[in-house]
Structure 1
């Protein structure tokens, strides 16, 4: 987050939403996997999405794309 060029307070505030959203997504993913009894896509899909997100973050210098 510090590499995005914001001051310290803004950087700390910008770190909160990704962790909150990540926690909610993990809980929904676990709940849905338990409800459906299907595990493969619930295990395989999150790392694929994470890799794609890291590639986007590394390949651009735009604030919105790197933050998302």
Structure 2
């Protein structure tokens, strides 16, 4: 470990080692960068879709609750 860097928790140390390994791999295989970016884009798109579905479900739930509340008056 570099002497100038502060002591890290085990999780942070593993993360740093993983980052260094990824950096070395991408330096040796530049074509992997586009593959990695595609993977990140796919993950991001999936999170956005899941978030959209969750919000849509919440809106439907609120609409049904409002209908039920207004129907009882």
Give the TM-score normalised by the residue count of structure 2. 0.41
| Larger relative contact order (Cα-Cα within 8 Å, sequence gap ≥ 6) | 1
Of structures 1 and 2, the larger Rg is shown by: 2
Give the TM-score normalised by the residue count of structure 1. 0.43
